[in-house]
Structure 1
Amino acid sequence: MQKETPYNLIVITGPTASGKTRLAAHLAARINGEIISADSRQVYEKMNLGTGKDYDDYIVNGQKIAGHLLDIRKPGYKYNVYEYQTDFFKVFEEIKSRGKFPIMCGGTGLYIQAVLDQYKMVHVPPNPSLREELQNKSLEELTNILQQFKKLHNTTDTDTKKRAIRSIEIETYYQSHPEIEVELPKVVPLIVGIAIDRELRRKKITQRLKERLEEGMIEEVKRLIDEGIDPQDLIYYGLEYKYVTLYVTNQITYDQMFERLNIAIHQFAKRQMTWFRGMERKGHKFNWIDATNEIDSNVLKIIDMMYD
């Protein structure tokens, strides 16, 4: 009889295009698990190709693996790490209550860390007067203001003026309000990182971008705009939605869109790895496995780690 695992959560993470979802689904099929997404953009309905919702990856041997925190907000909504942490722990407890094993899967390092480090967070309400004060400042000026705060929850949150203003709003609130003490469920995680050679990663990212454009990513963005989503709200989401929106609103050419987006995704993957290395330096143990291994081999390695 197999001994009980000391872990109550498996985290499968890694840079974009490393095969996280497929591995998580195959593992879930073997251990009676369910997946909790840790992707900051896959929470939105109708944003499928641009966020990389690979629904086919959730099918293993004809069985559909349950996935949570996908399609839970309308496009245009500004989901945040506070909401993610709250939503995650609700799902985490519910999965366990049914005797299933929770598997967190995704590449949004801030969301993963908010769960593992159990950030004591508060809901930050809008500050209209502060927003008005900041509205006419340039993105560079807003970035400089943000850098003056010692505690930055997301140093990459200066992609647009909206993001930067919201970040300043949050940091200002933190300085003037003590954090609310909340009791969060205990998490004992086994963290599995998917290691992928940089050149292979670059090749896969570019190939996947071409495929998603062929599958209708531009049409997806056009539909969202036609349904009334403000183009600025799509730009707010960054990466695919930023550059494809700039293209469909005639601000850049197709070739400029492809080149800039391709570069931006490569840079994003690099930032993801930097974040994970930072988590390692702070004491989180990552068990790195090779992305080029056969998937069944990697599943067995993870199961061995669970009971080692």
Structure 2
Amino acid sequence: MQPGKPLLALVGPTTVGKTATAIWLAQEFNGEVVSADSRYLYRGMDIGTDKPSPAQRQAVPHHLIDILDPRDEYSLALYQRDAYRAITDIQARGKLPILAGGTPLYIRAVLEGWRIPPAPPNPALRAALEERARREGPEALHRELARVDPIAAARIPPSNVRRVIRALEIFTQTGQPMTALEGRQPPPWRILIIGLTLPRDELYRRIDERVDRQIAQGLVDEVRALLEQNVPPTAPALSALGYQQIVAYLQGHFTLEEAIARIKFDTHRYARHQLTWLRRLPHVQWVRVDQPGWEAQVRALVATFLAGLPTEQKTAPIGPDVDRSGDHRRGVVQ
């Protein structure tokens, strides 16, 4: 990583248009796209992820797409490593890396330089701890965590078994508390972060339209094919929005109409979660993509940044109609 080299990051909630925007910016500014979407990593998961099409990926090089089998384990530390490698390689070839996606942990780990404990996933240990949680209750694991890492125990509730297990996994493999290994070391790049937003009703309308389109394009058959290829229903890849609900439908837990309604509702909730996380990022240049001339505004921001001139920081135009956490319950199956 070389100091001062530029990195453009495009962030925002799902369906706001990050993929298409990243592609035309890459074409105009000699760039390549580095995906920050955890769902794009897996091969065979195209419809439910709204992955860039083959034509789009042929027009502009994309990185960190289709690099995993849906049965593979992957971690935040591995993503950060792979993203840093891709960004550095793009910069070394004199091109502009464009980090684009909606997975907040991925984005923040890269842009803020999170120090991630060097403890890869240990499936056997996790399985043993999960079994213990079922047998003895989550509080037993939490008491053990409080003994070895009281700071982590204070901020992770017993009900969040997955995070408790991860903290215990880190201590078991490193001999050090998770909280002692964490921190931040921002990467030495010049970074411009552009956030794309929409009013809540428009965002939800786009989400609902996309879900209907994905069903029409064959999402059910895509999920069925993954299961027939012996991808376990419990695989992390199939916990993605859209996939977990269709798996439940195929297992007979509810009707297709109920699955569709659940996908829409859960995606609305995820969009709110994304905005909550992304609002914590400093120095974001927010642009509403429903306003006339927004493309020119984005283009000018990037051109000014690449010229080495300061860009005027803008307050996020995310009004209470977008970022409040109240449920949106049209057609929701409880």
Instruction: Check conservation: 2:141, 2:165, Cα contact below 8 A.
Output: no
- Partner of 1:15 in structure 2? 13
| Partner SS, residue 231 of structure 1 | coil
2:138 paired with 1:141: yes
- Partner of 2:52 in structure 1? 54
Structure 1 runs of 4+ with >6 Å offset: 146-149, 180-184
2:242 paired with 1:247: no
Q: Distance in 1 between matches of 2:24 and 2:101?
A: 15
One of 22, 35, 38 as aligned partner of 1:37: 35
Amino acid at match of 1:108: T
Change (3 A) 1:107 1:296: same
Q: Distance in 2 between matches of 1:299 and 1:83?
A: 31
Deviations 1:276-297 (A, max 9, x none): 1122xxxx21100111245642
Q: Cα RMSD between the aligned structures?
A: 3.4
Shift of 1:302: 2.7
- Partner of 2:128 in structure 1? 132
2:112 paired with 1:111: no
Deviations 1:85-132 (A, max 9, x none): 100111111111111110000011111111111112233241745642
- Partner of 1:276 in structure 2? 278
Shift of 1:56: 6.4
- Partner of 2:90 in structure 1? 95
2:75 paired with 1:73: no
Shift of 1:67: 0.6
If asked which structure has higher relative contact order (CA below 8 Å, sep 6+), I would say 1
Q: Which residues in structure 2 correspond to 1:248-263 (within 5 Å)?
A: 248-263=250-265
Instruction: Check conservation: 1:26, 1:299, Cα contact below 8 A.
Output: no
Amino acid at match of 2:46: N
Percent identical residues:
26
Q: Distance in 1 between matches of 2:272 and 2:87?
A: 29
Instruction: Count how many residue pairs are aligned between Structure 1 and Structure 2.
Output: 292
Deviations 1:248-279 (A, max 9, x none): 12222112211111110000000000001122
Q: Distance in 1 between matches of 2:165 and 2:43?
A: 23
Shift of 1:7: 5.8
- Partner of 1:300 in structure 2? 299
2:215 paired with 1:238: no
| Partner SS, residue 134 of structure 1 | helix
Change (3 A) 1:52 1:145: farther
Q: Which stretch of the first structure deviates more once superposed, 128-137 or 228-237? A: 128-137
Change (3 A) 1:289 1:29: same
Amino acid at match of 2:284: F
Structure 2: tracts of 5 or more residues without a match: 310-334
Q: Distance in 2 between matches of 1:70 and 1:260?
A: 26
Q: Distance in 2 between matches of 1:294 and 1:263?
A: 31
Q: Distance in 1 between matches of 2:187 and 2:237?
A: 35
Structure 1: tracts of 5 or more residues without a match: 1-5
Amino acid at match of 1:141: P
Change (3 A) 1:86 1:19: same
| Partner SS, residue 214 of structure 2 | helix
Q: Distance in 2 between matches of 1:289 and 1:108?
A: 19
Q: Max radius of gyration: which structure?
A: 2
Shift of 1:20: 0.3
